[in-house]
Amino acid sequence: MRQRAIVIKAGTAFPARFREAAKKLHGEVQSLQEHRRLQGEDVRGIRDAIDAAVEDILRRHADLYDFGVSLESSIENDDLFKEIDQITAGKVGPPFAKPGEMAKIGNQRLKDEVPPGYADREKNSDKALGDFFLWEQTIIEARERKIQVLIVSNDGKEDWIRKEDGRARGPRPELVDEMLDRTGQPFHLVNVKTFLTHAKAHLHAQVSDSTIEEAESVQKQTDQASTDSLLEVVTLESMIHLLSEPERAAVKELILETVGQSRAYRNSDDDPRGPWIFADLTSGSERAQGADFQYPVTSPSGRVFMPSPQRGWKVLQERFLEMDTQGRIYWGKNGDRRPVLKKFLPDVEARFYF
């Protein structure tokens, strides 16, 4: 809900950004004109063709960026909010009777690292308590309505998920115990991909394979973001040359097991370079938001993708095309998904001079 205006703005701004990108092609035409000492009418046809192509692309592919809503209409008459109101009608519980007291309990749980929510303790107070509030109100509903509880979430942090060897093994036992002790009801937690898979198999829900594949892709990128942050902490370059070969092998195994690398990597497309994982190709840094990092990329199937206004591609377009030629960009099984970087296990190992 907080990001809706940003998403709408990104969609409505896309045509203008696309036309702005086309101006660079006009600049190339101007260079051609000057280089060949041509007259304006000699290259006018090229400019007209560029503009016509841009407008044709925007018209034929409007479904990719046009949500059919403007910022103005979303404030006064947002159809999506109306639909949300219908879906949630009669399903929103009351606020806490004593919100201040609940905030104190939540803050104490954060300090004591009682799950869930303590992994968010570095956020501001409102956001840091969000997971605890959700959990506490779920307990209230489960107790009063005497119903079993299933939470569907892609949150893979340690304050929700129990992990062994870097792999998720279900909800934290403390959460299962607390739910049972306070409500007498069982509790389970699954991610979106698992929920959709089981809903299709056991509830006969109409869920397409592509939807499940996309949910899996999002989950892998979420997991990878967590793994990358751990990798940045583990730096042995300053001491690795002091180790013997057996010690290097032992440290290598320890690192890869600690961050879950050896089990997280897969090779779904039989790449000869070995196992790999998804890595985000966009960045929210100030550098990545520059014009040089805001360019369109085209998938093998012909779909055009742009980064969001708040994030740009991590590399310049020339480098992106080079990586794509090298087969380091993954466009999905059918070549029509938003691109991600293939990060190979040998590349990670090389960072530690093994």
pLDDT at residue number 19: 81
pLDDT at residue number 93: 82
Give the DSSP H/E element, type plus range, for residue 210: helix 209-233
- Give the residue-averaged pLDDT of 284-312: 84
Q: Are residues 346 and 215 in the same domain?
A: yes
Rounded to two decimals, the pTM is 0.46
Name the percent of the chain lying above pLDDT 70.
Answer: 75
Q: Which residue has the higher pLDDT, 133 or 118?
A: 133
pLDDT at residue number 257: 46
Secondary structure of residue 94 in the 3-state scheme: coil
The Cβ-side half-sphere exposure at 341, using a 13 Å CA radius, reads 20
Q: Are residues 176 and 214 in the same domain?
A: no
pLDDT at residue number 55: 84
Q: Are residues 17 and 45 in the same domain?
A: yes
Averaged confidence pLDDT in the chain: 76
**Residue 93 domain-assigned (yes or no):** no
Give the integer Cα–Cα distance in Å for 162 and 165: 10
Residue numbers of the domain that contains 310 = 209-350
**Residue 226 domain-assigned (yes or no):** yes
The residue behind tokens 């005497």 is 146
Single out the residue in 88, 121, 136 at which a domain terminates.
88
Name every residue whose Cβ is closer than 8 Å to that of residue 80 and which is 6 or more positions away in sequence.
4, 69, 74
DSSP string, 17-84: HHHHHHHHHHHHHHHHHHHHT--HHHHHHHHHHHHHHHHHHHHHTGGGT--S--HHHHHH--HHHHHH
The per-residue pLDDT for range 74-86, each reduced to its tens digit, is 666 777 778 888 8
What's the domain count of the chain? 3
Q: Are residues 258 and 289 in the same domain?
A: yes
Q: Which residue has the higher pLDDT, 267 or 354?
A: 267
- Give the residue-averaged pLDDT of 85-110: 86
- Give the residue-averaged pLDDT of 30-51: 81
Q: Are residues 233 and 296 in the same domain?
A: yes
Is residue 234 pLDDT above 50, yes or no? Answer: no
Give the integer Cα–Cα distance in Å for 222 and 193: 12
Tokens of 246: 């057996």
- Give the residue-averaged pLDDT of 163-168: 75
Q: Are residues 215 and 324 in the same domain?
A: yes
Is residue 236 pLDDT above 70, yes or no? Answer: no
